[in-house]
Amino acid sequence: MRYFKNLVKPYIAWTAVMIVIPIFMMLLYSITNSGNSLVNIQFTFENFKRFTEPVYLSVFIKSIKLGLITVVICLVLGYALAYIISQFKESTQGVLILLVTIPMWINMLLRTYAWISLLSDNGIINAFLDKLGIGPIKMMYTDFAVMIGQICDFLPFMIIPIHTSLSKMDKSYVEAAYDLGANPVQTFFKVVFKLSIPGVLNGIIMVFLLSISTFVIPKLLGGGQYVLIGNLIESQFVSVGDWNFGSALSIVLAGIILFAIKWMKKIDTGEN
Amino acid sequence: MNTLIELKNITKTFDDQQVLKGINLKINENEFLTLLGPSGCGKTTTLRIIAGFDEADSGELLFDGIEISKLPPYKREVNTVFQKYALFPHLNVAENIAFGLNIKKTDKTVVVQKVEKMLELVGLSGFEKRDVTSLSGGQQQRVAIARALINEPKVLLLDEPLGALDARLRKEMQTELKKIQKEVGITFIYVTHDQEEALSMSDTVVVMNDGYIQQIGTPTDVYNEPENRFVASFIGESNIIKGTMIRDCLVSFDGFEFECVDKGFKENEEIEVVLRPEDIDIVKPENAKIKGTVESVVFKGVHYEIMVRTELRSYMIHTTDFFEVGLDVGLTFGPEDIHVMWKMV
């Protein structure tokens, strides 16, 4: 056993260098002024105070709102798909899940660009609508476009955990519910859904986490004026160059996500 | 006794494999009926067809004289105790038991009373708030029975319910189940591969093999008067010997003629004889027709299992007396110990 224990050491080193130290650096950046030298560090809460300014606060609220809507739509679509897939025989299920994951093999940027050519004013959808005599509908650079992009990108992350919990569920629970007089609808809500809650919560966490921190999708489909937390953080680091404020924003975002996960886990253990 | 369930020529095929090849069976009210057979004989499928989880390919299923083949399981007046209990892990003991009543929107106070009564029946009073996953196998079993019985079904189906329990607990639950069946006074259809379980609990034993019913009878019938080689060898230990029925009450095997009590066979019909190991007595060689030598002796607790090598075969004998290996002995048995059965085709 001692021999195997040593095998852990490289991972500990890896985690320290690649995760713990960067997080510590971020923390340090977030509570210091810009232009500090290591010899003369000035601590400040200015960066966090800036976050409460209405401009930034509204970005956060917008991001959370959009994240929640994405989660809800993904949950409804994803649960239905996962449930339908879980009704097939096992070998077919494998193929269907593969199909669900295939889009994930393609670079996210490419997938998002594909949406631009579909949704833009002279894109494929509008060309089709034009043929039908319906005037061009503005879809690019709207909430709708950003949401479509997010939902399509993140849906597999909802389907897979739900499918996992549905497919490993013992079929005898369903039979037992039927046996005790529950019709298919009652069986679904009183047994199947309740037992799949762990998968549902995992899916919610995944999709919320991804959609609240994304910056590529709103940038491409929402346009330059469309700012979510992800974009805000990106611009602080890349264009503005205010690493301190960017770090503070990242820390706040991480805090929100951590809180959301904690809360979800609490629901999970409360249910069982 | 009234017939409650009737199966008429039921067949079922799964993936090219015919599991049931024409099952005809009448099940009475208040009967404890056991479907007994080796795994893959079709007993569980028969139970699932009665419960409504599987649909027969052909044949009729009558419940109280009404055809119910197309009725979904949630509309049938039967309840099932599943092999692995299938208790809902997200509900506690009381909620599990109350599931059926809550589906029927029964009044809350009635539910509480009935759950309490059921827990008392299965000996789990005070377990209402317990988490089902924290219960032992035997306790889960009792909850599963209570959950089924609270719906006051006309028939309780039990699919190898004692399979997961250890030997001692299984014995205990056998007695308990029989007691519960008497108390609630409904039909129990019990599936098992354990012959001892079947013999000790049932009013009627249905022996199945290879998709067919081999014999239907009381436990004593199937043990003492097995209809064919399969039943004889599946239920209890037995010596099965090919022979000829010379005429009523006279049978010939191993080169000797013996008086017996069996009638109704054709003259000189080829038959098979069953001799139960405990029915054979070991005597001095000069006092018996069949003579042999003791080949092996194994102590089994209550009795010795002795193999005696004779000219044509080895006989298995169960006796409380000890005989040394190599001893020359004779084997005797009375006319009523010889069970003549049809030869299997």
Measured CA to CA in angstroms, residue A215 lies from A58, A87, A146, A211, A232 at distances of 16, 36, 10, 9, 8
**Contact map slice: B 34-63 vs A, CB within 8 A:** 51-53
Question: CB–CB of B53 and A271 under 8 A?
Answer: no
Same domain, B144 and B247: no
**Cβ neighbours of A77 (radius 10 Å):** 15
State the nearest Cα–Cα gap between B345 and chain A, in angstroms.
39
- Does B114 fall in a domain? yes
Q: Contact A175/B104, CB-based, under 8 Å?
A: no
* Dist. CA B104–CA B99, nearest whole Å: 9
What is the tens place of the pLDDT at every residue in B268-305?
889 999 999 999 999 999 988 899 999 999 998 889 99
> Measured between beta carbons, which residues in chain B are less than 8 angstroms from residue A168?
none
Q: Does A91 touch chain B (CB under 8 A)?
A: no
What gap in Å lies between CA B141 and CA B147, rounded to an integer?
10
Q: How far is it, in rounded angstroms, from Cα A218 to Cα A149?
A: 8
pTM of the model: 0.82
Judged by CB atoms closer than 8 Å, whether chains meet at A181 and B53 is answered as no
- B231 lies in a domain? no
Separation in Å, CA B16 to CA B20, B73, B124: 12, 25, 45
**Which pLDDT score, from 0 to 100, does residue A265 have?**
82
A225 and chain B in contact, CB less than 8 A: no
A35 touches chain B (CB under 8 A): no
Contacts of A176 in chain B (CB under 8 A): 80, 82, 86-88
- Does residue B181 belong to any structural domain of this protein? yes
In a domain, B219, yes or no: yes
B326 in a structural domain: yes
Nearest Cβ partner for B73 among A172, A178, A191: A178
- Within-domain flag for B178: yes
Cβ atoms of B229 and B240 within 8 Å: the answer is yes
Do B133 and B165 form a contact (C-beta atoms < 8 A)? Answer: no
Question: For residue B209, is it within any domain?
Answer: yes
Q: Note whether A55 contacts B: Cβ–Cβ < 8 A.
A: no
User: CB A181 to CB B151 under 8 A?
Assistant: yes
CA angle A124–A125–A129, rounded 5-degree value: 120
pLDDT digits (tens, 9 = 90+) for A151-161: 999 999 999 99
Q: Of B298, B299, B295, B294, nearest to B283 (Cα)?
A: B294
User: CATH number for the domain including B191?
Assistant: 3.40.50.300
A270 near B CB under 8 A = no
The DSSP element (H or E) to which B141 belongs, if any, is: helix B137-149
Chain A residues with CB-CB distance to B84 below 8 A: 170, 172
Is the pLDDT higher at A56 or at A4? A56
Q: B301 and B155 share a domain?
A: no
Among the partner-chain residues B52, B72, B84, the one whose CB lies closest to the CB of A172 is: B84
The torsion angles phi and psi of B264, rounded to 5 degrees, stand at 90, 10
Q: Is some CB atom of chain A closer than 8 A to the CB atom of B148?
A: yes
Determine the structural domain holding residue B146 and report its residue range: 3-224
Band of pLDDT at residue A271, cut at 50, 70 and 90: low
DSSP B265: P
Residues A56 and A246: beta-carbon distance below 8 Å: no
As a whole number, mean pLDDT of residues A113-127 equals 87
Instruction: Clarify whether residues B295 and B192 are in a common domain.
Output: no
Q: What is the total count of domains within chain B?
A: 2
Contacts of B132 in chain A (CB under 8 A): none
B224, B256, B283 - which closes a domain: B224
Look at residue A272 and tell me whether its pLDDT is greater than 60: no
Given an 8 Å threshold on Cβ–Cβ distance, is B103 in contact with A181? yes
Q: How far is the alpha carbon of B143 from chain A, nearest alpha carbon, in Å? A: 13
A 179-218 residues with CB below 8 A of B?
179-183, 186, 190-191, 194-195, 197
Q: What is the mean pLDDT of chain B?
A: 92
Q: Same domain for B146 and B20? A: yes
* Of residues A213, A197, A242, A239, the one with CA closest to residue A51: A242
**Which of A176, A182, A194 lies closest to B82 in CB terms?**
A176
CA nearest to B98 within chain A: A180
Using pLDDT thresholds of 50, 70 and 90, give the confidence band for residue A39: low
Query: First vs last Cα of chain A: how many Å apart?
Result: 35
Residues of A in contact with B51 (CB under 8 A): 175, 179
Size of interface A-B (CB pairs under 8 A): 64
Cα B190 to Cα A112, B72, B168, B224, distances in angstroms: 60, 21, 19, 21
Closest by CA to B82, choosing from B144, B32, B171, is B144
Whether B128 and B242 map to the same domain: the answer is no
A195–B80 C-beta distance less than 8 A: no
User: Is the Cβ–Cβ distance between B158 and B198 less than 8 Å?
Assistant: no
Q: For position B253, which CATH number holds? A: 2.40.50.140
Question: Model confidence at B167, in pLDDT bands (50, 70, 90)?
Answer: confident
Q: C-alpha distances in angstroms, B119 versus A220, B106, B125, B149, B175?
A: 63, 18, 5, 11, 17
CB atoms within 10 A of CB A192: 18
Ranking A69-73, A235-239, B185-189 by mean pLDDT, the lowest is A235-239
Give the end of a domain, one of B179, B198, B224.
Answer: B224
Q: Are B164 and B243 contained in the same domain? A: no
- Could you tell me which of B98, B95, B130, B92 has the C-alpha nearest to residue B114? B98
Give the domain-ending residue among B224, B248, B267.
Answer: B224
Residue B74 and residue A194: Cβ atoms within 8 Å?
A: no
Same domain, B17 and B138: yes
My answer on whether B156 and B31 are in the same domain is: yes
pLDDT at A93: 94
The residue assigned the tokens 């004692």 is B162
Residue B230 maps to a domain: no
User: Does one domain contain both B179 and B90?
Assistant: yes
The amino acid sitting at A58 is S
CB < 8 Å to B86, chain A = 170, 172-173, 175-176
Closest by Cβ to A272, choosing from B74, B90, B148: B90
- Look at residue A103 in the predicted model and tell me its pLDDT: 85
Q: Which residues of A touch B71 (CB under 8 A)?
A: none
Tens digits of residue pLDDT in A8-22? 888 999 999 999 999
| pLDDT of B76 | 94
- Residues B294, B299, B300, B304: is their CA dihedral positive or negative? positive
Q: Is B134 on the interface with A (CB under 8 A)?
A: no
Same domain, B144 and B184: yes
Per-residue pLDDT reduced to its tens digit, B218-241: 999 999 888 888 999 898 888 999
Other Cβ atoms less than 10 A from the Cβ of A129: the count is: 13
pLDDT digits (tens, 9 = 90+) for B7-49: 999 999 998 899 999 999 999 999 999 999 998 899 999 999 9
B157 and B257 share a domain? no
Considering only residues 143 to 172 of chain A, which have any Cβ-Cβ distance to chain B shorter than 8 Å? 170, 172
Residues of B in contact with A177 (CB under 8 A): 88, 99
Instruction: For residues B24 and B148, state if they share a domain.
Output: yes
